[in-house]
Structures are given as C-alpha cells and as structure tokens.
A and B are shown apart, each in its own frame.
Chain A
C-alpha cells in the first residue's frame, strides 16, 4: 500500500504529532511519503519522498491553497491512502481533499483490520468498523492512538508551488490563556464533570479535593457552561496532568478529556453510567450518584 502522510507545522515549528503518522504507516505497513507545509530548515527525518510547501509563502492555515498543493502531491504520488491527524488542521483539510477526489473519508481512526478502520462513535462509548468503498481513501487518525516513530533518514525533497488564490485570510494566533492553577504539578487532582448537574455542586467536588489535599480540575462542559474558569480544564484544549491519583467525578470521558489525564498513576471514576468511556481508563469505576457518594467519601477522609 502507498501512503501519503500529511504532516503538521505551526508557529514556525514542525509538530511532534507528525511522528505519529510515521507510527501509523509502520503499523499498517507500506511505502510512505509525506506532504508538509513547513520549512526546508526543519524537515522530518525519514527515508521517502517529502512534498514540501513553504509555509512562509503559502501560510500555515490556508485550506483552499493547501488543498490545491496536496492535490498536486496526490497526482504525482498516486497514493492508496492519504493520512491526516484528526486535529484542527487535519479535520479541516481532509474533507476538502476527499471531496475533490470524491473518495471515502474515515474520521478519527484508532485501529484497523483488513480494509476496515476502527473508529469510536456516540461520544466514544461505542466502536464500529468503517470500510471505504472507493479504491483510494482519506483517513484521519486519532492523536495518541498510534505510537510515535522517529524513523531517521533523509527524505528526497520535492518542492511544490501553486498560483491558486486564497479564499481565507489568516490574521494570527492567540496564545493560550495564562493559568492561575498549575494542575500539572499536583499529586492529586479531583475533577468535576457535567454529571455534577449545576454550578453550585462544584463546591461538593472542591470539598473532596480539599479533603484529599489535591487540586480541583474540570472537564470541558463544566468550563463551557461557565461553572469554573478555563484554568481548571483538563484535556487536549486544557492542561495535561499526571498526578498519582486522579478522581473523575461525573466525567463521561471524551477522547479530549482522556488525552489530558489517562497517564495518571491511579484513576478513580465516579459515574452513574456504567458504560461511560471513562471506565476504559479508570482503575476503579464507582457506579453511584456522585452527590451522595462524594460527600460520604469527603466525610470519611476529613
């Protein structure tokens, strides 16, 4: 199988996630080439063809133009499979390429068997197998699903260019908000999820965090609802934590949340839904009404 991987580059740097694409290519087996809008000054080390586009000329986010350049690489390389990361860059660009080629796209792949790709669905509670019905296909792989691979080697660089006009003007980046809570150094993190029901119940979780002598974290819906500020958010758009003990209270366990806490030493989850995906990473899943269980646990600890 011939693969064309689509690497990522942002704010003047090659992103580490590119190595996960290499890991996927090694896992599925096949000849891999790489398309990258980046810089000749920082090329990934691998043996194969690198289709390189100068980000200084064509922009780091410029979907219409990147699509045209990628189509040129596809035309030259004739890959069976084009592989993106399921990221803000990948999920934005992949459907554009799939539409131009009119080929199947499979999103957020976590595994494969034969010509079927395993993906999550229903907020990651369930899995299914999706099979492309076209001879070529586009896929995006879930970040973290395939181990990164630093292959080493020197690519053969082919520089691509286009005169297609952009329909999108990139204005600039806004840095992540400064954090007043450093969860990354905490030995114990106790996090509140949507299951707490309402803003006032944050205090129930805060009391447990205090009883443990830990920090208070939160999942995205709690932050989005304005129940707590973003500084407490754990997950791929918040902080990544690796405490000795992580307590997830009423957190169903979206992929984005799991990415931020699954390497914790010990994970205790409290959820009324026995099938919640948090159960996949939890060492202990307590099936209970957290508004009864958490105060009882707090009382015993205090």
Chain B
C-alpha cells in the first residue's frame, strides 16, 4: 500500500500578525512556524494505519513552500513517515488553493497512491478546499472532516463530524482521499531516537513550477486586523489592579454579583 500525507507549515497562531508590503498576506519576518495542527492528525492517522498493517505501507509526506518547511517535513518523518517530497515554492504565500491542489495532483497523478491524507483546512488560510480539490483533480472519491477512520480490505470507513455533535458514517473504496479534523486521534510527539533515525530518511526536492503552471483563480488584498465591532474594554496592569477593576465592572454591569 502507498500512502501520501500532505502537510503545510503555518505560523504559530498566537503570533502578532502584520500585513506584508502589498497587504495580500502576512509579513513572514519574526514569525515562528510549525506544522498545521490539522495535518498533525493526518500524519498520526497514516502512521497508525502503517502500524496496523505491520509496517507494510510506505508513507510519503509532501509539503510545498520555501526551505523552512523542511522542519515540518522532518517532524513528520520522525513521527513515522518513510520518505518526503519537498516541493520548493518560495512564493507559496501567493499561491491559492487551486494552484496548491494542482501542484499536489500533478505530483501524485502517476504514483498510484492508495490513500491520501490531508488536514481538513489550514489554520492560516482556512479555505478547506485543497484536499477535496486534489481528489477531484485525481478523479478519486474523497470525504472530509474525519473524527473516525478505519481501513479494511481496501475500504475506508470514515466518521465525519457534522454540526451539533452529530456524526455521519460513510464508506469509500480506495484509492481515496480523506481530510482530518481536530480530535481524530492523539498525535504523538516524536521521540529522540526517531528524530535521529529520521535524519537518514530521503527528502526529494522538486520545483513547483515544473509540476504545474496553473494561474490563480482568486486574488487577495487588505490583510488586516478586523474592525473592533463591540464596545469591549481591554484591561492591562498588575494582577491586583486587574482583579479590583474586574470586580467593580461585574458588580456594575451584571446582576450575578452582589
């Protein structure tokens, strides 16, 4: 069995974000990057399937971006992916979902992957498009928002998270693509021996432009802090002052404190 896991490297979401020069996206300087949280579940689920099948499947992890994404790739290798493809794209921030999906599909098209795992969305862009678009471009079935996954005899049984705590169970025959929701599993931390072992694993570098030259279907502008809508007060200061201020406000504005 051949498995492909697609991961993205994103900034830590607690970072202070500033627009870049053209305000199309954020300025990357001073940001710390890490693996997209949804993709951690995708990597973990692929590695669990490999373990379930006695180590037989070969897992390729793929990431698109500048050299910084190799850090996320190495983490995936340390968790248990076998080999990696780094698709070099220094301008990844200006590539929108259709272009990213076209690059991945161009890479995967002749590789006969049985299963593809992606996160259901990225934390930074949050379009929830790329996984499904890849499957559509490859002409294989897909389903999204998995909180449960099982594989047996070429059939995936997926539990999808719907609204209000309801779940929906579906089956699809491989080759197939699934997108992973938070809480699907408990992603492990890479151990030191596995981090060392991962150093010997192969990372192939490809050029994005050689895989796909699709033009963007959307444009981005006015990356900004949202306008403050509420009349909220922001309080800063020492803990003792803050507690006093909060108690005064709660007594004044709510009926719950007397």
> Which residues of A are interface residues toward B (Cβ below 8 A)?
10-11, 61, 63-64, 86-88, 91-92, 94-96, 98-100, 102-108, 116, 119-134, 167-177, 187-188, 212, 220-221, 223-226, 230, 236-238, 244-245, 252, 265-266, 268, 273-277, 279-288, 292-293, 296-297, 300-301
**Pairwise interchain contact B220-A129, C-beta atoms closer than 8 A:** yes
Complex alpha-carbon distance, A120 and B256, angstroms: 34
Complex alpha-carbon distance, A292 and B239, angstroms: 7
- Return chain B residues, CB-CB under 8 Å to A168: 141, 143, 170-172
- Return chain A residues, CB-CB under 8 Å to B142: 63
Complex alpha-carbon distance, A296 and B242, angstroms: 10
Q: Given the known A-B contacts A107-B127, A175-B166, are A286 and B242 also in contact in the complex, defined by CB atoms under 8 Å?
A: yes
- Return chain A residues, CB-CB under 8 Å to B186: 225-226
Q: Given the known A-B contacts A88-B162, A280-B226, are A133 and B126 also in contact in the complex, defined by CB atoms under 8 Å?
A: no
**Chain B stretch 117-140: residues in CB contact (< 8 A) with chain A:** 120-121, 123-129, 132-133, 136-137
Complex alpha-carbon distance, A225 and B164, angstroms: 19
A1 to chain B, nearest CB (A): 18
- A88: nearest chain-B partner, CB-CB: B162
Complex alpha-carbon distance, A192 and B98, angstroms: 37
**Pairwise interchain contact A126-B226, C-beta atoms closer than 8 A:** yes
**Pairwise interchain contact A236-B136, C-beta atoms closer than 8 A:** no
**Pairwise interchain contact A296-B225, C-beta atoms closer than 8 A:** no
**Pairwise interchain contact B255-A244, C-beta atoms closer than 8 A:** yes
Q: Given the known A-B contacts A105-B97, A125-B17, are A280 and B124 also in contact in the complex, defined by CB atoms under 8 Å?
A: no
**Pairwise interchain contact A284-B232, C-beta atoms closer than 8 A:** yes
> Which residues of B are interface residues toward A (Cβ below 8 A)?
11, 13-14, 16-17, 23-26, 97-98, 101, 120-121, 123-129, 132-133, 136-137, 141-145, 157, 159-173, 182-183, 186, 215-226, 228-236, 239-240, 242-243, 246-247, 249-250, 253-256
> Can you report 27 A-B residue pairs in the complex whose CB atoms are below 8 A from each other?
A94-B129, A95-B129, A104-B217, A108-B128, A122-B26, A123-B126, A125-B13, A126-B17, A126-B223, A126-B224, A126-B225, A128-B222, A167-B141, A169-B170, A171-B169, A172-B168, A173-B169, A224-B182, A237-B163, A244-B256, A266-B253, A273-B14, A283-B249, A284-B235, A285-B232, A285-B233, A287-B234
A292 to chain B, nearest CB (A): 5
**Pairwise interchain contact A127-B163, C-beta atoms closer than 8 A:** no
Q: Given the known A-B contacts A285-B232, A300-B247, are A129 and B221 also in contact in the complex, defined by CB atoms under 8 Å?
A: yes
**Pairwise interchain contact A174-B166, C-beta atoms closer than 8 A:** yes
Complex alpha-carbon distance, A213 and B71, angstroms: 47
- Return chain B residues, CB-CB under 8 Å to A131: 218-221
A177 to chain B, nearest CB (A): 6
Q: Given the known A-B contacts A168-B143, A286-B242, are A275 and B16 also in contact in the complex, defined by CB atoms under 8 Å?
A: yes
Complex partner residue of A300 from B128, B145, B243, CB under 8 angstroms? B243
Complex alpha-carbon distance, A150 and B151, angstroms: 44
Q: Given the known A-B contacts A132-B217, A133-B216, are A169 and B172 also in contact in the complex, defined by CB atoms under 8 Å?
A: yes
- Return chain B residues, CB-CB under 8 Å to A287: 234-236
Complex partner residue of A64 from B11, B141, B218, B234, CB under 8 angstroms? B141
Complex partner residue of B239 from A212, A274, A288, CB under 8 angstroms? A288
Complex partner residue of A88 from B25, B145, B221, B225, CB under 8 angstroms? B145
Complex alpha-carbon distance, A86 and B127, angstroms: 10
B24 to chain A, nearest CB (A): 8
- Return chain A residues, CB-CB under 8 Å to B242: 286, 288, 293, 296
B31 to chain A, nearest CB (A): 10
- Return chain A residues, CB-CB under 8 Å to B133: 95, 98-99
Most chain A beta-carbon neighbours within 10 Å: one of B17, B127, B231: B127
**Pairwise interchain contact A275-B225, C-beta atoms closer than 8 A:** yes
**Pairwise interchain contact A61-B250, C-beta atoms closer than 8 A:** no
- A238: nearest chain-B partner, CB-CB: B165
Q: Given the known A-B contacts A120-B226, A122-B11, A128-B223, are A268 and B250 also in contact in the complex, defined by CB atoms under 8 Å?
A: yes
Complex alpha-carbon distance, A149 and B161, angstroms: 27
**Pairwise interchain contact A167-B232, C-beta atoms closer than 8 A:** no
